[in-house]
Amino acid sequence: MATPTVILEESALEKEARLKDLLRNYGAIAIAYSGGVDSTYLSDVAHETLGAKARVLLGDSPSIPRSEVAEATALAKERGWNFEVLFTEEFANDDYLKNDGTRCYHCRAELFTKMRAYAESTKIPKLAYGEITDDLVDTTRLGAKAAKEFEVVAPLVEANMTKAEIRVLSERRGLPTADKPSFACLSSRFPVGTRVTIEDLQKVEKAEEALKKLGFRQYRARHHGDLCRIEVDPDDLPRLLDGELRDAVVASVRGAGYRFVTIDLSGYRTGSTA
């Protein structure tokens, strides 16, 4: 009898074949690439399937940690993708900065605006992004609203691919993102209604880089003015509460510019600043 892992892999491979057929039908495509699990996998399959007709576009702005940009760029070059960086300008948009609950829409709209201009100049007929079937649970997704308005396709959804399947297939391809934790832009660390500034973003980035260097994989530094609320995976809480490591975290986060540091005993969870 086949094990659940084997069954998952067989199902995933069938969906990958479907994905390749979809990409061939597009003919040429420009992909919104972030360095995350889903867009990395999509970029790799598109490059394999379409070669030079697959363009991989990384949107860069102050809301993306420099380490993430560096890692995503290095991976794209290592894989030989047709890769370019687009510098987005959402920080010139007050509707984005005021962070009233529609921030993600304005971010995506700016990215897709830049991507559409690139596609028109290079005669690429389709824009795509890495939405997956798991994302469809949340019907309020503002990024999806922007994608619909800009006619950006979601090939992974069309192929009915889940996060678990994409992780399995990414591992088969030797992609280092196969087990990468989830990530969202630094602006997501601000409570709704708290204005986003580049100065405060830099504080968040420094705090999270410190957590990364101290060995945490899933973490968030939530911004609350002078206070930084630290979230880590619940399994890492005992380690975080160890005296020596706790002191190192506090010192590093204060060094990033915060006056107070608190540990959230609920642990890491998405949307906790909403």
The torsion angle over the Cα atoms of residues 235, 165, 9 and 219, rounded to 10 degrees, is: -20
First to last CA, the chain: 45
| One domain for residues 26 and 160 | yes
| One domain for residues 14 and 146 | yes
Any domain includes 55: yes
CA gap 4, 81 in Å, rounded = 33
The answer to whether 246 and 253 have CB atoms below 8 angstroms apart is no
| One domain for residues 156 and 218 | no
Any domain includes 83: yes
Give me the mean pLDDT over the 208-234 stretch.
Answer: 96
| One domain for residues 136 and 212 | no
| One domain for residues 162 and 198 | no
| One domain for residues 73 and 168 | yes
Give me the mean pLDDT over the 51-75 stretch.
Answer: 97
End position of a domain, from candidates 146, 172, 198: 172
Its pTM stands at 0.93
> What pLDDT shows up at residue 134?
87
Give me the mean pLDDT over the 29-36 stretch.
Answer: 97
Whether the per-residue pLDDT at 178 is higher than 70: the answer is yes
| One domain for residues 23 and 142 | yes
Total tally of structural domains belonging to the chain: 2
End position of a domain, from candidates 172, 202, 237: 172
Any domain includes 178: no
| One domain for residues 148 and 47 | yes
CATH of the domain at 138: 3.40.50.620
CA gap 92, 64 in Å, rounded = 16
| One domain for residues 196 and 165 | no
CATH of the domain at 257: 3.30.70
pLDDT band at 10 (very low <50, low <70, confident <90, very high): confident
The torsion angle over the Cα atoms of residues 146, 222, 74 and 46, rounded to 10 degrees, is: -30
Any domain includes 157: yes
> What pLDDT shows up at residue 1?
41
Residue 131's contacts (CB-CB under 8 Å, 6 or more residues apart) are 38, 143, 144, 147, 154, 156, 157
> What pLDDT shows up at residue 136?
80
* More reliable by pLDDT, 70 or 134: 70
Any domain includes 215: yes
Any domain includes 16: yes
Whether the per-residue pLDDT at 2 is higher than 70: the answer is no
Lowest mean pLDDT among 42-56, 60-74, 85-99, 139-153: 139-153
Any domain includes 274: no
End position of a domain, from candidates 123, 139, 172: 172
Q: Please name the helix (run of DSSP H) or strand (run of DSSP E) that holds residue 244, with its range, or none.
A: helix 243-255
> What pLDDT shows up at residue 138?
73
Host domain of residue 205: 186-263
109-128 pLDDT per residue, tens: 999 999 999 999 999 999 99
CA 26, 165, 176: angle at the middle one, nearest 5? 90
Structure tokens at 66: 């420099």
Lowest mean pLDDT among 20-34, 137-151, 189-203, 224-238: 137-151
pLDDT band at 271 (very low <50, low <70, confident <90, very high): low
> What pLDDT shows up at residue 273?
62
| One domain for residues 31 and 66 | yes
> What pLDDT shows up at residue 141?
78
CA gap 120, 28 in Å, rounded = 12
| One domain for residues 216 and 168 | no
| One domain for residues 81 and 143 | yes
Q: Is 225 left (phi over 0), alpha (psi -120 to 50) or beta?
A: left
Any domain includes 269: no
